[in-house]
Amino acid sequence: MSKNERSKEDIQLLRSMGIPEWLLEPTMISPSDTCELDQAGLSARLVERCRELGLTSLFAVQMAVIPVFLRRQALYDMRRAPGDLCISAPTGSGKTLAYVLPIIDILSKRVVTRLRALVVLPTRDLVTQVKETFEAFVKGTDLKVGTATGQQTLAHEQQVLVGKTTERYPGGYSRVDILVTTPGRLIDHMQKTPNFSLQHLRFLVIDEADRLLNQSYEDWLNHILSATRPHDHDANLPSLSLKKDRYGVTDIDAVAPAYLRSNYALPHTDLDLPCVPSVQKLLFSATLTKNPAKIASLHLTAPEYISVQRSSDNDAAPTYTTPAGLKEYMIVCPTQQKPLMLIYLLHEKKVQSALCFTKSVDSTRRLHMLITAYEERHQGPKLKVAEFSSDLKAGERKSILKQFRNGEIQLLICSDLIGRGIDIDSVEAVVSYDVPIFMDKYIHRVGRTARAGREGEAYTLVETQEARHFKQMLREAGHFSQVKSIKLDHEKVNELNADYEEALASLASSE
Q: What angle do CA 109, 112, 118 make, to 5 degrees?
A: 75
Mean pLDDT of 218-228: 83
What are the φ and ψ backbone dihedral angles of 109, each rounded to 5 degrees? -85, -10
Q: How far apart are CA 314 and CA 203, in angstroms?
A: 37
Q: How far apart are CA 126 and CA 170, in angstroms?
A: 33
Complete DSSP assignment for 215-256? --GGGHHHHHHHHTS--PPPTTSPB--SS--TTS--HHHHS-
Looking at the domain assignment, is residue 13 inside a domain?
no
Query: What are the tens digits of pLDDT across the range 292-337?
Result: 677 777 888 888 999 887 554 444 455 677 888 899 999 999 999 9
Q: How far apart are CA 453 and CA 323, in angstroms?
A: 8
Q: How far apart are CA 217 and CA 206, in angstroms?
A: 15
Mean pLDDT of 189-202: 91
Q: How far apart are CA 228 and CA 234, in angstroms?
A: 16
Mean pLDDT of 227-237: 57
What are the φ and ψ backbone dihedral angles of 125, each rounded to 5 degrees? -60, -40
Query: What are the tens digits of pLDDT across the range 438-478?
Result: 887 898 889 889 877 789 999 999 999 999 999 999 998 88
Closest by Cα among 188, 241, 201, 207 to 106 = 201
The per-residue pLDDT for 314 is: 41
Distance of CA 448 to the CA centre of its chain: 22
The per-residue pLDDT for 253 is: 61
Looking at the domain assignment, is residue 6 inside a domain?
no
Mean pLDDT of 37-47: 89
Same domain, 297 and 331: no
Q: How far apart are CA 414 and CA 417, in angstroms?
A: 8
Same domain, 52 and 151: yes
Looking at the domain assignment, is residue 7 inside a domain?
no
Looking at the domain assignment, is residue 1 inside a domain?
no
The per-residue pLDDT for 267 is: 47
Domain final residue pick, 308, 342, 365: 308
Same domain, 203 and 283: yes
Share of the chain above pLDDT 70, in %: 81
Please check the confidence at residue 181 and state whether its pLDDT lies above 50.
yes
Same domain, 334 and 289: no
Q: What is the CATH number of the domain that holds 459?
A: 3.40.50.300
226-239 core/surface letters (b: 16 or more CB in 10 A; e: else):
ebbbbeeeeeeeee
Q: Where are the beta strands (DSSP E) in 232-377?
A: 280-285, 304-308, 326-333, 354-358
Give the pLDDT band (50/70/90) at residue 510: confident
Same domain, 56 and 102: yes
Q: How far apart are CA 130 and CA 228, in angstroms?
A: 23
Q: How far apart are CA 370 and CA 378, in angstroms?
A: 12
Same domain, 253 and 336: no
Give the pLDDT band (50/70/90) at residue 11: low
Q: How many CA atoms lie within 13 A of 49 on its CB side?
A: 23
Same domain, 188 and 108: yes
* DSSP-derived pairing of the beta strands 85-88 and 304-308: parallel
> Among 263-267, 398-402, 449-453, which stretch is predicted with the lowest mean pLDDT?
263-267
Domain tally, the chain: 2
- Other Cβ atoms closer than 10 A to 58: 25
Domain final residue pick, 265, 280, 308: 308
For residue 79, count CB atoms less than 10 angstroms from its CB and return exposed for 0-12, middle for 13-18, buried for 19 or more.
exposed
Query: What are the tens digits of pLDDT across the range 362-388?
Result: 889 999 999 999 999 888 788 999 999
Give the pLDDT band (50/70/90) at residue 2: very low
Looking at the domain assignment, is residue 250 inside a domain?
yes
Q: How far apart are CA 173 and CA 154, in angstroms?
A: 17
Q: How far apart are CA 88 and CA 31, in angstroms?
A: 11
Same domain, 296 and 157: yes
Give the pLDDT band (50/70/90) at residue 265: very low
Q: Which of 27-41, 61-75, 114-128, 156-170 has the highest mean pLDDT?
A: 114-128
The per-residue pLDDT for 426 is: 81
* DSSP-derived pairing of the beta strands 57-58 and 35-36: antiparallel
Looking at the domain assignment, is residue 317 inside a domain?
no
Domain final residue pick, 308, 339, 374: 308
Q: How far apart are CA 158 and CA 153, in angstroms?
A: 9
Q: How far apart are CA 143 and CA 220, in angstroms?
A: 26
Looking at the domain assignment, is residue 139 inside a domain?
yes
Q: How far apart are CA 119 and CA 131, in angstroms?
A: 9
> Among 90-94, 248-252, 279-283, which stretch is predicted with the lowest mean pLDDT?
248-252
For residue 437, count CB atoms less than 10 angstroms from its CB and return exposed for 0-12, middle for 13-18, buried for 19 or more.
buried
The per-residue pLDDT for 471 is: 94
Which domain covers residue 448, as residue numbers? 326-510
Same domain, 296 and 348: no
Looking at the domain assignment, is residue 469 inside a domain?
yes
Same domain, 423 and 487: yes
Closest by Cα among 312, 319, 296, 283 to 28 = 312
Query: What are the tens digits of pLDDT across the range 140-153?
Result: 899 999 999 998 99
Same domain, 271 and 414: no
Query: What are the tens digits of pLDDT across the range 419-437?
Result: 765 767 789 999 999 998 8
Same domain, 287 and 350: no
| pTM recorded for the entire structure | 0.71
